[in-house]
C-alpha cells in the first residue's frame, strides 16, 4: 500500500511553521446555470492560460459536482499550489495583468460564486495521479489528532484503486467542516469499492465502532473532473 503522510499531528488550526511549507489547495465554488455559462467559464480560463502572462501559475482543475447534498454549487475550480508562496505568485500574476483581470471579469459574468476556501493535504493513500471521478466526504472532527490517527490505522493495509486524500481545512469554506476526504478512481464503481472495501475490513469495522467519538460526517458529494490546466 503506497502511503504518503504529510503530518500526523494536524490540528484544526495549523501552526505557522506547518503552513509555510505545506501545499495549499485553494477552491472556488460556483453555480453554472447552463451548459453555456459553464463553457464560458472554461473559455475565460483558457484565454488567460494560453496567454504569455500566465507563465508561473499553479496547476488548476475544474470539477463538476453531480450529486452534492445540501451544498448549493455545481462546480469548483481548484488551484493546486505547492506552497502558500505559490498561491501568492499565482494571485499576483492574475491581478497584475490585463489578461488576468479580463479573465475574472468574464468569469464573474458567466457564473454565480458560492464560496471559497483552501485545504492542506494531510494524508495520501494510493496513487497520486489525477482520477476522473470521485467522492468528497465533509467531516467535522471533534478530535483532529484522533481522527487522522484512526483513518491512518484503517487505511495503511488497504488496497485501493486510485487514491484517498484527507485534507485539513486551512481556510474553511463550509461552515462546521474541519476536514474533507477525497476518494477518487477511474470509475464510480472503483470509488464505491474503495470506500466500502476500506470500511468493511477488520480495521474499518474497528474504526466505525469508535468514529462517533471523534468525528461527524456532514455530507457526501459525487464529483467528476471537467478539465485540467497544468502548472506553467
Q: Kindly report the backbone phi and psi dihedral angles of residue 39, in degrees, each rounded to the nearest multiple of 5, phi listed first.
A: -65, -35
Q: Which of 71, 87, 117 is the last residue of a domain?
A: 117
Question: Considering the entire predicted model, what is its pTM?
Answer: 0.89
Q: Which CATH number covers residue 48?
A: 3.30.70.100
60 falls within a domain: yes
Residue keyed to cell 478512481? 185
Reduced to 3 states, what is the DSSP secondary structure of residue 33?
Answer: coil
Q: Which of 87, 117, 147 is the last residue of a domain?
A: 117
144 falls within a domain: yes
Summarize pLDDT for 66-91 with one digit per residue, the tens. 999 889 999 999 999 999 999 999 99
- Binned at pLDDT 50, 70 and 90, residue 19 comes out as very low
Q: Are residues 176 and 83 part of one domain?
A: no
Number of domains in the chain: 2
Residue range(s) defining the domain that contains residue 163: 3-21+121-223
- Binned at pLDDT 50, 70 and 90, residue 21 comes out as low
Reduced to 3 states, what is the DSSP secondary structure of residue 107?
Answer: helix
Amino acid at each position: 500500500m503506497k502511503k504518503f503522510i504529510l503530518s500526523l499531528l494536524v490540528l484544526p488550526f495549523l501552526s505557522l511553521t506547518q503552513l509555510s511549507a505545506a501545499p495549499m489547495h485553494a477552491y472556488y465554488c460556483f453555480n453554472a446555470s447552463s451548459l453555456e455559462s459553464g463553457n464560458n467559464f472554461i473559455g475565460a480560463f483558457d484565454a488567460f492560460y494560453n496567454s504569455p502572462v500566465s507563465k508561473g501559475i499553479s496547476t488548476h482543475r475544474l470539477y463538476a459536482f453531480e450529486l452534492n447534498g445540501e451544498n448549493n454549487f455545481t462546480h469548483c475550480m481548484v488551484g493546486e499550489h505547492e506552497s502558500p508562496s505559490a498561491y501568492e505568485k499565482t494571485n499576483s500574476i492574475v491581478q497584475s495583468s490585463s489578461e488576468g483581470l479580463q479573465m475574472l471579469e468574464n468569469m464573474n459574468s458567466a457564473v454565480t460564486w458560492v464560496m471559497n476556501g483552501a485545504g492542506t493535504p494531510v494524508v495520501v493513500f494510493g496513487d497520486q495521479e489525477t482520477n476522473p471521478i470521485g467522492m468528497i466526504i465533509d467531516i467535522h472532527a471533534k478530535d483532529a489528532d484522533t481522527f487522522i490517527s484512526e483513518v491512518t490505522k484503517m487505511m495503511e493495509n488497504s488496497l485501493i484503486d486510485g487514491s484517498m486524500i484527507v485534507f485539513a481545512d486551512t481556510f474553511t469554506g463550509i461552515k462546521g467542516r474541519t476536514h474533507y476526504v477525497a476518494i477518487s478512481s477511474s470509475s464510480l464503481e472503483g470509488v464505491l469499492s474503495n470506500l466500502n472495501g476500506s470500511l468493511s475490513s477488520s480495521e474499518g469495522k474497528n474504526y466505525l465502532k469508535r468514529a462517533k467519538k471523534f468525528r461527524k460526517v456532514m455530507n457526501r458529494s459525487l464529483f467528476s473532473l471537467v478539465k485540467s490546466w497544468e502548472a506553467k
